[in-house]
Structure 1
Amino acid sequence: MPAIEWLLVACATDARIFQRERGSPMVQVASFSHPEGRLRAHELGDDRPGRERADRAFGGMAYAPRQDAHHREHLRFARELAEQLEHGAREHAYGSLLVLAGSPFLGEIHKAMGEHARRLLKASLPLNLCHLGQDEIERRVQREFASA
């Protein structure tokens, strides 16, 4: 198993995978953008809730969609990232994995991860570091995982 570690830094619209070996600086190996996560619901094709009007009644009832368009897009992006992690795990591109993502999105990534990537998952934290540069991410990771 390689001594290479992958680090996924993700949010619902952007993600980067970094690679590091002990004693070497981090290197970005992949970058992902999901601009659909920034669109408004109506731009994603999400309609207003459906309505039903009952006979002899005033008003009516509104039915919300089971899953809003933004959530569907977040799930789609989480699956895309999980597929990359699974592919890397199957190809033995890394020997351990760290995942840093915002709180609800981290759970979506975890649910979408395959068996091989889960086995290599060393740790995950609900931190959104997408807005930071590579040097600052590396400093934060070293501080957070100093004992790892």
Structure 2
Amino acid sequence: MKTQWILIANAATARLYGRASPAQPLEVLAEHNHPESRLKGSELGSDRPGHEASDHSSAGSRFEPRTDARRKQHQQFADELAERLAQGLAEGRYDSLWLFASNPFLGELRARLSPQVARHVQLAHASDLTALPLDELAQRLRDPRLFEA
């Protein structure tokens, strides 16, 4: 019997579902929340970008961070989810994986998947389904061809 995991996520919340086959009902395996991803960048960082005063100039140079604080939170959450998926695969808890995540969070998540997990991804679609109740989600997932472009 091939076990399937389905991850429904956006940058702040994720639910992991499992089922023994596409005909079986979805079972909630885990819920992950990352409230920091919902905060404004100004609420995440306590400092302004750094400044430099040069010796002979009246103007200073300003150093911008390479990645803003909010994007770092999104990346951290993607790392957490990728680690959970890698752990489940290592334990033999699933054979195939479907990913549904908001855009651009799906890209952040896929970039952090291990090569082993990436080989088990059967379907990945940029769609935020986190607000759907379980019965509506199950109905939408019955025909994954609806998500193919």
Instruction: Check whether TM > 0.5.
Output: yes
Pairs within 5 Å for 1:48-87:
48-55=48-55, 57-87=57-87
Greater displacement, 85-94 / 8-17: 85-94
Q: Output one character per residue of 1:20-55: Cα deviation in whole Å (capped at 9) or x when no partner.
A: 223211111110000111122233235222223445
Report what 2:7 is aligned to. Answer: 8
Deviation at 1:147, TM superposition (A): 9.7
Secondary structure of the corresponding residue to residue 103 of structure 1:
coil
The 3-state SS of whatever aligns with 1:12 is coil
Q: Which moved more, 1:113-122 or 1:78-87?
A: 113-122
Question: Mean Cα displacement is larger for which, 5-14 or 135-144?
Answer: 135-144
Q: How far off is 1:114 after superposition?
A: 1.4
Post-superposition Cα deviations, 1:60-111, rounded to whole Å, max 9, x if no partner, equal: 3322111111111111100100011111111111110000001111111111
Distance 1:46 1:130 in 2: 30
Unaligned 5+ segments in structure 1 are none
Gaps of 5+ in 2: none
- CA–CA distance in 2 between the matches of 1:17 and 1:118? 16
| Identity, % of aligned positions | 36
Matched-pair contact (CA < 8 Å) for 1:49–1:65 = yes
Matched residues in 1 for 2:105 and 2:40: separation? 18
Root-mean-square deviation over aligned CA pairs: 2.0
Structure 1 residue 130: Cα displacement: 1.1
Aligned to 1:115: 115
Matches for 1:1-148 after TM superposition, within 5 Å: 2-20=1-19, 21-55=21-55, 57-145=57-145
Please, what TM-score do these two structures have when normalized by structure 1? 0.88
Instruction: Name the count of aligned residue pairs.
Output: 147
